[in-house]
Structure 1
Amino acid sequence: MGKKRLLSSLIGVAMLAAMGNSAFAAEAPLHLNVNGTKLADQKPVIIDQSILVPIRTISQLPGFHVDWDNKSKTVSVTNGSTQDVLKLTVGKTKAVLGASTVTVSVPPRNIGSSVYVPLRFIAESLNAYAAWDAESRTAVVYPFPASEEYKSEDLAASRQAVLGLPKISLKDHLGFTPDVRTTTYYFPQNQSQKFFIQEGEYIRYFEVENGAAWQRWEGQAGAKKAGERDAVPNLVPAVKGEWGKRPAYSGAYVYFMHEWMAGEVRYGLLDETGEGTELGSKEGVFDQVIIFPIDGEKGMELR
C-alpha cells in the first residue's frame, strides 16, 4: 500500500503543477494513453485536481471488464487477473471494493452523453498504474504485469516478458519506413531492462519502469560524416532526426532479427566495434519474436 500512496502523491503533485496556469490549462488539450495506445477519440478531463476518463476507457485495459447498471447509475469494474471488483455510483463519494466501503474524493459524473470515472482511484484500487505527464499533458494507465517474469534472472525469459510489456511513448513517432518486413531487437549484453527496436530507418529506445517499457529516445538513421562519432556507439552511426535523450551505453549488444513475413528469427552478437556475429536462427516464427538464450551471458542486471 505504501507504493500506491507514493504514486498517488506524486500524481497529485504533478497535476497541481499542471493546473498552475489556468489559462494554459483551459487551452491546451489533454491526451490519453491506455496500455501504450493513444486514444484520440477519448479525452480526459481534470476536475478538482483529479483526472476523469470516459467509462469505456477502463474497458480497454487488458483483462479489465466494465458493467453499467443504468437503473442505479453504478459502474462495476473487474480486474480479471485478481478478480477484484470495484463499484462506483454516479454522484456518490462512497465506493465498494470487494467487501469494503471506500471513499472517493471525486465521484463519477455525467459529462455530455458519457459517464466519466476517476482514473487514479480505479487504477490504484485494482492493481493498475496511472500517471500524469505534465509536459505532454497525457494521462497514462495500464495494468501491472500479472507476473514478475520480466525481472527474472533468466535473461531469455526476462527479455521475452519485457517485450510483452506495454510500450509507452509520450511523443509522436518521427515516421515509418514503408514496406518494412523485419523488426530487430537489441539488448545491451547481460541486460534485459533496456532495449532498442529498429524498423527500417527508425530506431527506438526503451527502459523498463513501473511494469512497462517507456520510450526514452527515437532516431531516424542518417549518413555519417567523416570524423563523426556514432550517434549511439556501436549501434547507430548517425541520425538526421531524433527526440529524447540519447542512450549512453557503449558496450556489446545481443540482437534478435525477426523477419516476420518470412517467419524466421536470426540472433547473434554485436561486439564493442559494431561487428556482428550470427549465432543461430529458427524458422516458422511469424507472429511474435522468440528470444533465445545467448551462450556466455551473465545474470541479468536490473538497472
Structure 2
Amino acid sequence: MTDTPARLLSLLSLLQTPREWPGSELAQRLQVSPRTIRRDIERLRDLGYPVEATLGAEGGYRLVAGAAMPPLLLDDEEAVAIAVGLRAGAGHAIEGVEEASVRALAKLEQVLPSRLRHRVGALQTATIALTRGDGSSVDPRTLTTMASAVAGRERLRFAYRAGDGAESRRQVEPYRLVSTGSRWYLVAYDLEREDWRTFRVDRVDEAFATGARFAPRELPMDAEDFVRRGLRGGEKQTYLVEVTFTAGAAELPEWLRSAALPGGGAQTSVRFESADAPEWMVARLALTGLPFTVRGPAALRAAAGALASRLASAAVGAP
C-alpha cells in the first residue's frame, strides 16, 4: 500500500482492535516492510495516538489509553450502533448525558453516509423506549438540526404547536438548547414577535435551517434561568419591557423607578421583565399619567396602539 494517508488509516483501524499486533503481521496485512510499519507508528504517535511497543523478536504494538481522547475510526456496524444509542440518550433527555448526546450525535450524523443514516432511522423506528413522566420525547433529527443551527448561528424555521393546541410557523434565531432532564427546550429570538421565546422541542415539527446567518443577540439572563422562570410560571412567557418616559426619574412611580436606566435628564428609559398580559401592562403604564413611548417588544407596541385607538373612539362625540 503506497498511499501513506490511506495506509495510516488502515493501520489505525487495526490497532483499535483490542489486541497486540506483531510488527510482521501488520506489515503482511498492509503489504509493506516492517521498517515502514515502524515509521507509520511514529507518525501516529506524532498525531497523538498512544501506541505502545513491546520488546522482542516480533516487536508487538497496541493502542493504549492516553491523556486525551484521539479521533476514532468506526466501521459501519459500530457507527450505526453508536448513532442509535446517542439518539436514545438525546431523544428522551436521559439525565446527565442528554446535552453531550446531542453534541456527539450532531457531529456523527454530519459525516454519516446516507445509507447508514437510513439504517439508523429504520432501527429507531422499530425500537420502543420506556420513558418516564408524561413520556414526552423528541425526534433526534430535530435536536441535531437545532444543535447545528445554534453552533453555526443559522436561522431556523419550524412548525410549532402551543400548549392550547394553536399551531403556527416560526422563524427564529436559535440561542441555546436546554434540557431539564425530562424535556428539551429551545431558547431563541422570535423574529416575527421581536422577542425572546422558549419552545418545547417535543412540540416542534418540520425544523430546518434556512442557511441565513445572524449576529447573536444578548439574552437578558442565562438560558437556564430563562427556561426556569418560564417553568415556574406554568410555561407562561416573560418579555422584556422597554419604555421611555418624557419625565425625570424622580417623577416615576416606585415600581418603575427601580427599573430606570442611567442617564437622567428630561427623559427616562426603563427596562424590566414582565409576565403580565401586554394589554394590562400598557394600562398600568398609562395610569402613571406621564407621556411615554413603547420601544419594545412588538406585542407591547401593538397593545399600546390598540388601547389608543379604543380611547380615541370612546372620545368621539364627547362634549
Output the TM-score relative to the length of structure 1.
0.25
Output the TM-score relative to the length of structure 2.
0.24
* Larger RCO (alpha carbons 8 Å, 6+ apart): 1
Larger Rg: 2
The structure with more helix, counted as a fraction of residues = 2
